[in-house]
Amino acid sequence: MGGVHPNDSKLARECRIETLPLPPVVYVSMAQHLGAPAKPVVTVGDFVKVGQVIAEPGGFISAYVHSPVSGTVKSIGPRKDLAGNFQTHVEIAVEGDVWMDGIDRSDKLVKEIPEDREEILKKIQMGGVVGLGGATFPAHVKLNPPAGKVAECLILNGTECEPFLTSDHRIMLERPREILVGAAIMQKVLGGCRCVVGIEENKPEAIAAMRAALSELGFPDMSVQVLKKKYPQGGEKQLIDAVMHRQVRSGGLPIDVGAVVQNVGTSLAVYEAVQKNKPLITNVLTVTGDDVPVSMQHNYLFRIGMPLSYIIGVAGGRPQQAAKIISGGPMMGKAISNLEATTVKGTSAILYLSEDQTRRQEAGYCIRCGRCADACPMGLEPFLLYRLTRVADLDGLEKNAVQDCIECGCCLYSCPANIPLLDYIRQSKGQVLGIIRSRNVKK
């Protein structure tokens, strides 16, 4: 149901993962996961090592944050993030590269999985592992379903349906065994449910690599499923429908239909946390663009807290033709208002878009053609939500499920009148969700 077919533009798919050199200083955000920001547990002047806890969870839905470098804490205070909002950051001056004892930095595969479920969950929690598919939801919470809910299928999301992004593609090519061991660990935690790795058909190399690794490892109840190339195939509810042929009701959760969805990057992070005692301090991002030479296309292994301006400099500088720089992909990514902002756990890309790609035609009038409704993967009627937003009818917006919008941008992509539907809907969705949360608090 719904969806669109933009050009996938995987221009960096052949670029092997490169490790970024360390910058002189990092700024580690306390708000780089869904939920409450973490609380710093270090003070100015402290010397910290790579992998050391520098902040603890600020609530049930929160995550530990670790130092990505070794060095001296220079400051703790507000600093602007990607969107230009002030968040607490820990500034660390880089001094060498001294890691905490016990972190295994070797390439040796550790296949043997611990038997103790609680021990595994504790390592995942202490490792600060969060979902790397976009939402950055703390993984240990997602892997511990509430009483009465049973996981029947763990779905690993390897679709990477967002145009331009190739970081997941590269880790499936370069580290497939570690991803699958991470999946087996999560199967263990979830009680031994089956696991399906979903990969879009436009990634034949990744499909072959994952299947070869699975054949080598011999994990039972695990398979690779080829999915149609369609955006947003990687949406959680869309993926569940494609793999399990079950639909998550409005306001429901994947576990309600027996599903747990995790990104392939999250699975790799779980492997490193449980088998290598390495917390989530690194991830892979793509540096790419529609009019960028091959020499400036990259997939980088980065450490959290690196300034974007530093990464852009290492990658060859900002291309002259770049009219806009986006964090993430062109459909769901956010324009970067502050290049001095730093990477967080979920950073997936630095995308340069040319003037031709960013020029927006003047919006016309809605002709009620219904293309936006046909394209909406959630079965919503964006043209109606747009009208309700214009008259501030919050009750009508809630009745028509604006809160179910996944902000995929399919409506905007398909609108012949060039109406910025997503901008309006995103604004009203935030208002309606605020009302719903306040109502729940009062209960």
Q: What is the pLDDT of residues 372-396, one digit of tens each?
A: 999 999 999 999 999 999 999 999 9
Average pLDDT of span 207-212 = 98
How sure is the predictor about 84, in pLDDT bands with cuts at 50, 70 and 90? confident
Q: Within a domain: residue 16? A: no
Residue 278 has pLDDT above 90, yes or no: yes
Domain boundary among 236, 260, 275: 275
Rounded CA-CA distance 31/38 in Å is 7
Domain boundary among 244, 275, 306: 275
Considering the domain architecture, whether residues 378 and 239 belong to the same structural domain is answered as: no
Q: Within a domain: residue 281? A: no
Q: Within a domain: residue 435? A: yes
The string of pLDDT tens digits covering residues 311-323 is 999 999 998 888 8
Q: What percent of the chain has pLDDT over 70?
A: 99
Q: Within a domain: residue 325? A: no
Residue 239 belongs to domain spanning: 117-275
Considering the domain architecture, whether residues 382 and 269 belong to the same structural domain is answered as: no
Q: Within a domain: residue 428? A: yes
How sure is the predictor about 360, in pLDDT bands with cuts at 50, 70 and 90? low
Q: Within a domain: residue 404? A: yes
Considering the domain architecture, whether residues 271 and 375 belong to the same structural domain is answered as: no
Strand partners, 39: 56
Considering the domain architecture, whether residues 246 and 395 belong to the same structural domain is answered as: no
Residue 109 has pLDDT above 80, yes or no: yes
How sure is the predictor about 99, in pLDDT bands with cuts at 50, 70 and 90? very high
Q: Within a domain: residue 101? A: no
Structure tokens at 239: 């993926």
Q: How crowded is the C-beta side of 440, counted as CA atoms within 13 Å?
A: 6
List of residues 6+ apart from 284 with CB closer than 8 A:
17, 167, 168, 170, 171, 265, 299, 300, 301, 302
Domain boundary among 255, 275, 295: 275
Considering the domain architecture, whether residues 267 and 399 belong to the same structural domain is answered as: no
Q: Within a domain: residue 58? A: no
**Can you give the pLDDT at residue 355?**
80
Considering the domain architecture, whether residues 376 and 270 belong to the same structural domain is answered as: no
CATH code: domain of residue 201: 3.40.50.11540
The string of pLDDT tens digits covering residues 381-436 is 999 999 999 999 999 999 999 999 999 999 999 999 999 999 999 999 999 999 98
Q: Which helix (H) or strand (E) holds 204?
A: helix 204-217
Residue 442 has pLDDT above 70, yes or no: no
Mean model confidence pLDDT for the chain: 94
Considering the domain architecture, whether residues 165 and 269 belong to the same structural domain is answered as: yes
The count of structural domains within the chain is 2
Q: Are 235 and 375 in contact (CB under 8 A)?
A: no
Q: In what order do the strands lie in the sheet with 25-29?
A: 25-29, 86-94, 71-80, 47-48
Rounded CA-CA distance 287/18 in Å is 11
Rounded CA-CA distance 215/219 in Å is 8
